[in-house]
Amino acid sequence: MNYRHAFHAGGPADVVKHAVLTRILVHLRDKPAAFRVIDTHAGAGLYDLRGPEATRSPEWRDGIGRLLAASIDGDARALLAPYLDAVAALNPGGELATYPGSPVLARSFLRSQDRLVACEIEPAAAAALAHNLGRERRTKAVVIDGWTALNAYLPPPERRGVVLIDPPFEAPDEFSRLAQAVEAACRKWPTGIFLVWYPTKGRQDSDGLAKRLRRSAIPKTLRVEIDFAMQREPQRLAGCGLVVINPPWKLPDELTVVLPLLARVFAGGHRMDWLGRGG
């Protein structure tokens, strides 16, 4: 299965990842001090939902399309509003035609003092990323391997920020590499927020990641998983997980509101637990 961003733009996994990322960015903005966003596997940054990749596997219809069509009230509506507003801003005509990848979404939450470093190694995606971010002082697109970037850009000059790690999971050892990289990155920047995405195609890899993180010395490690019952077809992503290290203190309570709503929209189930709570 190919987990590259263009094939899953706006799909259920993107919605879950971006809903959580947005809440983290909202909390970072709550304090005046500058923060940094580091996106290690950024992709192109912006996706045409009518383009060849999105139409080849139109997961956005089961993802952001379902969410926009759903009835959302009360606290869930308020918590999802920043994310949905950012998507709407890219579709001023009201018709959903463009979806933001993580770097473009993160850019919409930056203030003048905040910074974004978006990393991509695949040539076509890297060129598109540079174009989509443009030239401005707050953002920087870098052609670099995401795993190398974790070592090169940590710790950042700012004391606050979030690192998004969202690899394509095309190599057979990607989960093992992910665990090693996360442990090393947390040693370099123990106070940073880390948001790690992974597919849950099978339990062995995801459970192995959780087991290793439990054995590590990393405190404050939250795990979130959600499955998508309407995507049980072969070659469709049936679920995903997120590991949030050093989550903002309000985030777990917020996710107790948001996750059941997303599970209902995607006709699936969800779980949330702590892999580590020390520190």
Catalytic residue among 166, 205, 253, 273: 166
C-alpha–C-alpha distance, residues 19 and 79, integer Å = 9
Short-list 109, 8, 4, 2, CA closest to 62: 8
C-alpha–C-alpha distance, residues 54 and 185, integer Å = 33
Backbone torsions φ then ψ of 104, nearest 5 degrees: -70, -40
Q: Is 62 helix (H, G, I), strand (E, B) or coil?
A: coil
Are 224 and 274 in contact, with CB atoms under 8 Å apart?
Answer: no
73 is catalytic: no
Residues in the chain: 279
Short-list 23, 20, 19, 24, CA closest to 36: 24
Short-list 223, 219, 230, 222, CA closest to 263: 230
Residues 6+ apart with CB under 8 A from 106: 21, 25, 37, 39, 116, 164
DSSP per-residue string spanning 137-177: TTEEEEES-HHHHHHHS-S-SSSEEEEEE-----STTHHHH
Short-list 171, 131, 116, CA closest to 47: 131
Query: Which residues are known to be catalytic?
Result: 166
